[in-house]
Amino acid sequence: MTIQQDIITKLGVKPTIDVDQEIDRRVNFLKEYVKQAGATGLLIAISGGVDSAVAVGLCKRATDELSQETGKEYMTLGVFQPYGEQDDIDHSYEVAEAFNLEHKVETNIAEAVDEITLETEYAFKVLKIHRHISRGGKGNVKARTRMVIQYSLAFDLNLLVVGTDHASEALTGFFTKWGDGAVDITPLSSLNKRQVRELARRLGVPSSVIDKAPTAGLWEGQTDEDELGVTYEDNSSYLEGKEIEPKVREILEKRYLSTQHKRQAIPGI
């Protein structure tokens, strides 16, 4: 078995999908887990990107169906989490409107992130390390702070926190461990980015969101593809078992091997 075949098997990606079947399968997956957990619904952070938009569509369909089937009210809570001013936050609200999301709230993480940053830099100073927190380090603080707020809301509202991680992100380890990689359930996990976009079109995600350059919003101007040095088209083709340029294959496999720890549970002895 080649490294590519091994990765595809572990991440569970299909070379082609039936979009309607995948939507139904993932909605049922969410519904069953909510019932098993005794939760009253789902919480999803809406970034304004296609991944969270698809997750919103699946979550809203799942909680609507549960409410109809049981006679009890189940909710999908959408959370907008800008750091200060977010240029594309209108896309987040556009997604909420597209899925008629009744429950939504905006929580700005700027003050909390800046305080954590100051405390970190104070610790550097005590250690006689005269430097500011790195750009990537502050990006991780943003991701983890967002999760703290999500879980604070979810705990008291008895909701499950939904993640947007999918196979194309898992392949490259492009998520913050215990940041956006710390959630209760991941309904997109065995899809690649191309397949996520297929679901987006069927669910009715606005085209302005589907077609925008993917970004984790970690710093101004940051995009996933620039950061990784690989397009999502090549990433998706790799996960579908197709041949891609040897140099691109090398980048993807190197990143996969170097980020194994992100995909593993906390190790013990």
Tell me the catalytic residues: 51, 169
Residue % of the chain over a pLDDT of 70: 95
Least confident of 29-43, 84-98, 115-129: 84-98
Domains of the chain: 14-227 (3.40.50.620)
Instruction: Output the DSSP codes for 69-108.
Output: HHSS--EEEEEE--SSS-TTHHHHHHHHHHTT--EEEE--
Instruction: Tell me what pLDDT residue 181 has.
Output: 78
For 6-44, the pLDDT digits (tens) are 999 999 999 999 999 999 999 999 999 999 999 999 999
Instruction: Tell me what pLDDT residue 212 has.
Output: 78
Instruction: Tell me what pLDDT residue 229 has.
Output: 79
For 130-164, the pLDDT digits (tens) are 999 999 999 999 999 999 999 999 999 999 999 99
* Other beta carbons less than 10 A from residue 151's beta carbon: 16
What is the helix, strand, coil percentage profile of the chain, to 5? Answer: 55, 5, 35
Instruction: Tell me what pLDDT residue 222 has.
Output: 61
For 213-267, the pLDDT digits (tens) are 766 666 566 676 777 778 999 999 999 999 999 999 999 999 999 999 988 888 8
